[in-house]
Chains A and B, each alone.
Chain A
């Protein structure tokens, strides 16, 4: 969008208002993505913080070729992945679901019950990370399979497979919850 281009240009010239505006504009999307991937509010905050600090530091050399939102989402996804790898766990935060789920609900979330919402978030946290990442990036981040594949240097077919397996896993987990 033109507004993003101008904000970015002004930020490169040192405008703190432009930087604040970029943060305000995309913070919710970025934080939601980080929290969905890491299932840990504190870790999500760290990731968003680090992405913005890095964004500011590299502003001079930065060339935007797609959407700013897409770029920032990719940064959050990459950094989240690094965090997960660093912890050397295939699934993280499983014992932190109580702290990871905030009380606040957006209007759209009000359309489903708190219990359903809780179950869904719990189930997503249990999907293998690589699958969860694709499911979240595609559905929540609205990234296309091709965009995800390009950002990770992986074949589109692999990404699509991970997505499919992720949804299947999600369904089996939620059906398991129902059967209990």
Chain B
């Protein structure tokens, strides 16, 4: 007779009941859902609230969208602030230009938030390599790598390595997914959007401080107006010497009182990320997942 905890382990830890959706199924569900969303949007625009919509487009949406863009940018490590005066080293206007000009970037991300027991905090972190064409993310738990995800938008390939199961998947990226990923990248790395949104958010300069032996200057915003949070604080620290972001900290409390935090650090800017250098090596004893 098998002990009960063996069943618990099979279902909970080995995810034996998990299944993947097919591309056709995704197409059906997503197509229908997006269609409903589009129809709802058109209905709103056409009749019910034209004045409200126009008003939003004219004023507050600028600020709302700007705020969302910048938080996304901060969360993703593409932190760019300008327009803040500095008494010493950092020329903030140049930070955005340097970040934009960086061909590739590597960073570590840690975070906590929600009461979701799937959250890996505090024992997990992600290392991400990103360039305009490749993205690789290694996920670690308790210091051990357990997943690697790799996307090459130019070659339209995807690699997925499950180190904890010694398995891997190689497959082609669909046109639709590539289009969506490119759209995401464009939005998140658009410096002009970020420039505009920075000007819309209230922020102030922080005193200089040493972070991991690097003299940094920072700015902080607590401007949560229009954001889906009760309170919101984001701090960005930039190296006085290099002008590149060193540390990004975000803390937000949502309407349910749950505190979300995100910390991005260990940045490496201005690196050339060639696809062949970033593509994960698959150990010889790993088996393909058919």
Contact (Cβ within 8 A) B30 A20: yes
- Give the contacting residue for B18; candidates A45, A106, A170, A175; CB below 8 A: A106
Segment with Cβ contacts to B, from A77-85, A86-94, A132-140: A132-140
In whole angstroms, what is the CA distance A19 to B34 when docked?
A: 8
| A32 interface neighbour in B19, B26, B187, Cβ under 8 Å | B19
A3 at the interface (CB under 8 A from B): yes
A156: chain B residues at CB < 8 Å are: none
Closest partner residue, chain A, to B184 (CB atom): A17
Looking at the assembled complex, report how far the CB atom of A41 sits from the nearest CB atom of chain B, in whole angstroms. 8
Interchain CA distance A9-B228 in the complex, whole Å: 7
A64, B255: Cβ atoms closer than 8 Å? yes
Q: Does B262 interact with chain A (Cβ within 8 Å)?
A: yes
B29→A52 contact, CB < 8 A: yes
Is B47 among interface residues, defined by CB-CB distance under 8 A?
no
A57 touches B20 (CB 8 A): no
Mark out the residues of chain B between 53 and 74 whose CB falls within 8 Å of any chain A CB in the assembled complex.
61, 64-65, 68, 71-72
A1 close to B8 (CB less than 8 A): no
Contact among A2, A55, A105, A110 for B113, CB-based, below 8 A: A2
Chain A: minimal CB distance from B168 (Å): 8
Known contacts A1-B114, A16-B38: A110-B165 contact under CB 8 Å: yes
Task: Tally chain A residues at the interface, Cβ within 8 Å.
Answer: 67
In Å, the complex CA distance between A144 and B117 comes to 8
Contact indicator B255/A107 (Cβ below 8 Å): no
Contacts of A29 in B (CB 8 A): 18
Chain B proximity mask over A115-129: 1 for CB below 8 Å, otherwise 0: 001001100100000
Distance in Å: Cβ of A8 to nearest Cβ of chain B:
7
Of B15, B162, B183, B252, which one neighbours A17 at CB under 8 angstroms?
Answer: B183
Tally inter-chain residue pairs, CB-CB below 8 A.
195
Contact of A65 with B256 at beta-carbon distance under 8 Å, contacts A28-B18, A120-B16 already known: yes
Check if B88 is an interface residue, CB within 8 A of chain A. no
Most central of A4, A9, A45, A102 by chain B CB within 10 Å: A9
B209 on interface, CB distance cutoff 8 Å:
no
Q: Are A27 and B36 in contact (CB under 8 A)?
A: no
> What residues of A have a CB within 8 angstroms of the CB of B90 in the complex?
none
Over the window 8-25 of chain B, the binary record of Cβ atoms lying under 8 Å from chain A Cβ atoms (1 yes, 0 no) is: 101111111111110001
Question: Do residues B164 and A108 form an inter-chain contact, with CB atoms below 8 A?
Answer: yes
- Are B19 and A31 neighbours in the complex by a CB distance under 8 Å? yes
Whether B36 contacts A56 by the Cβ 8 Å rule is yes
With A2-B111, A5-B228 already in contact, the answer to whether A35 and B165 are too (CB < 8 A) is no
Q: Does A74 contact B (CB under 8 A)?
A: no
Q: Is the CB of A17 within 8 A of B2?
A: no
Asked if A57 contacts B36 (CB within 8 A), the reply is: yes
Is B33 part of the contact surface with A, judged by Cβ < 8 Å?
A: yes
Tell me which of A3, A17, A32, A67 contacts B17 (CB under 8 A): A32
* Nearest 8 Cβ contacts at the A-B interface: A107-B162, A65-B256, A107-B165, A107-B167, A67-B114, A67-B116, A139-B11, A139-B12
Using a CB–CB cutoff of 8 Å, the interface residues on chain B facing chain A are 1-2, 4, 7-8, 10-21, 25-26, 28-30, 32-34, 36-38, 40-41, 61, 64-65, 68, 71-72, 75, 111, 113-119, 162, 164-165, 167-169, 180, 183-184, 187, 227-229, 250, 252, 254-256, 258, 260, 262, 287, 289
Residues of A within 8 A of B (CB): 1-6, 8-11, 13-14, 16-17, 19-21, 23, 27-29, 31-32, 35-36, 45, 48-49, 52-53, 55-57, 63-67, 69-70, 102, 104-112, 117, 120-121, 124, 135-136, 139-140, 142-144, 167-168, 170-171, 174-175
Task: List 15 interface pairs A-B (beta carbons < 8 Å), by A numbering.
Answer: A2-B71, A2-B111, A2-B113, A5-B260, A55-B33, A56-B40, A64-B255, A66-B115, A102-B20, A106-B289, A111-B14, A121-B16, A142-B12, A171-B7, A175-B1
